[in-house]
Chains A and B, each alone.
Chain A
């Protein structure tokens, strides 16, 4: 018998900001912010992740209080997955990337109280794998695209 999905304990947000970022190395720019009617998953726990490794983003209010947090797979890859259908090779393996460059999107709640989005990650290199994540960029949530301050 299939397992039932756990019912949401918190009503999901029904309006999102679609934030598009461009990155080159560890430098990240917020290039667009688009308000969209869509449901977002509820926030993950706002505490208890301190000292962990990985990548997540947090939305905070004017006082810096966290309102929403989601963990995501690191969208700024310092290595890439390579796949194979050759039985002589593993089906998945990783190779380093010299200079990561690209675009990614983050979906955050479009709510009045949200004033900033903060990006957290372990260091962007293979040696940084497993090190605790730290805030590396913060952007004000304003209608116009803005430049983040690299920390």
Chain B
């Protein structure tokens, strides 16, 4: 079982914004794909990349991100699915030993992380983040040093949540351990030390809270209070979804720990990252938004895209260009000005319009002085 049950085929850069030595690098591997199914893995990877690119703030930071796909074939297709957890009993031989039912929990889908790291260390040691997609449509996944998720609808959200942990050091913002309706004890009130993670706190004091610069003066602190710490706070959000404050209930406790917004991807899947998490992601990726940037994109028929390039604190723009990838295709594009921010950063706005009836892929490139 394991590495003897397949073969490492190779690694391909599927989002290319520059050399791996200068960019933030995500590596995606597959498990449970037979050699004859590797093209399906390519499609599944592309689907996740599209999801990530559509997820703020990765869309803004895309120029700083590379994605690599490592093709690994397995002897058999799918993942182990023990009957002990109510599974099908499938027992395929796969390279990374993907299996449901870890810890006796059906949805806990894990792989052998030691084998994953061995492959990544050899294939793509410049990886900042590693994900494994498992070739099964049954819902499942897991986190830790390697994010693992299946092909079930919505399972890519697991990858985005786990990337928050692994790549950016986020804590969980949910206010329970086993679940709000689980009758859990020992999670009524957080009395521990201040968490080192950027997106949870025990400090709801406006003067000292760690994300206080994002809190409007009109927003009360704490922003919500849980009236019954023996259970999760049942109240809805009394403020707008974008309001940043200190919402009681976080870090596996019903009271005593606070989260920055009512909802966040780190509280429950299928939500955007909160403003605090987005800021940390931007700060982490910023060093990879170097003075040179380039990449590719596609624009649909009749559509206009407006986006910006950023060179952080670099002093000024030298050149920017947009060019169709296909000979004969035509795009209208223009620059819409430079925005200098008070923090010394620069945004360079660009608009691209596709007047044709077919999608057009294009390259863009720019450089700073």
Binding site for B on A (CB under 8 A): 2-8, 12, 14, 18, 20, 22, 32, 34, 36-39, 41-42, 49, 51-56, 70-73, 75, 77, 80-85, 89-95, 97-98, 102-105, 107, 122, 126, 129-133
Known: A5-B345, A36-B125, A38-B20. A103 touches B145 (CB 8 A): yes
The winner among A3, A37, A71, A92 for most chain B CB atoms within 10 A is A92
Expressed in whole angstroms, the Cα–Cα distance for A23 and B286 within the complex equals: 32
Name B's A-contacting residues (CB within 8 A): 20-25, 56-57, 60-61, 102-103, 105, 107-108, 113-114, 116-117, 121, 125-126, 128, 139-145, 152-155, 157-158, 161-162, 165-166, 169-172, 174, 176-180, 182, 190-198, 252, 268-270, 278-279, 282-289, 308, 310, 312-314, 341, 343-345, 347
Bound: A70/B23 CA distance, A: 18
CA distance A14 to B174 in the complex (A): 36
Q: Closest CB of chain B to A25's CB: distance in Å?
A: 15
Contact B191 A130 (CB under 8 A): yes
Report if A3-B140 is in contact (Cβ < 8 Å); known contacts: A20-B117, A95-B103, A130-B191: no
Q: Given that A53-B192, A53-B193, A90-B268 are contacting pairs, would A102 and B113 also be in contact in the complex, using a CB cutoff of 8 Å?
A: yes
Question: Which of these, A3, A90, A105, contacts B279 with CB under 8 Å?
Answer: A3
Q: What residues of B have a CB within 8 angstroms of the CB of A77 in the complex?
A: 143-144
Bound form: Cα–Cα A14–B23 in Å = 10
Alpha-carbon gap, A34 to B97, bound state (A): 25
Are B347 and A4 in contact, with the CB atoms below 8 A? yes
Q: Are A2 and B308 in contact (CB under 8 A)?
A: yes
Q: Cβ of A129: which chain B residues have Cβ within 8 Å of it?
A: 192, 252
Closest CB-CB distance, A45 to chain B, in whole Å? 11
Check if B282 sits within 8 Å of A5, measured CB to CB: yes
Chain B residues positioned under 8 Å from A12 (CB to CB):
287
Given contacts A83-B158, A85-B153, whether A5 and B310 have CB atoms under 8 Å apart is yes
Closest to B181 in A: A90
Contact with A81, one of B117, B157, B172 (Cβ below 8 angstroms): B172
Closest 7 CB pairs of A and B: A130-B192, A54-B196, A7-B312, A5-B282, A7-B313, A73-B165, A12-B287
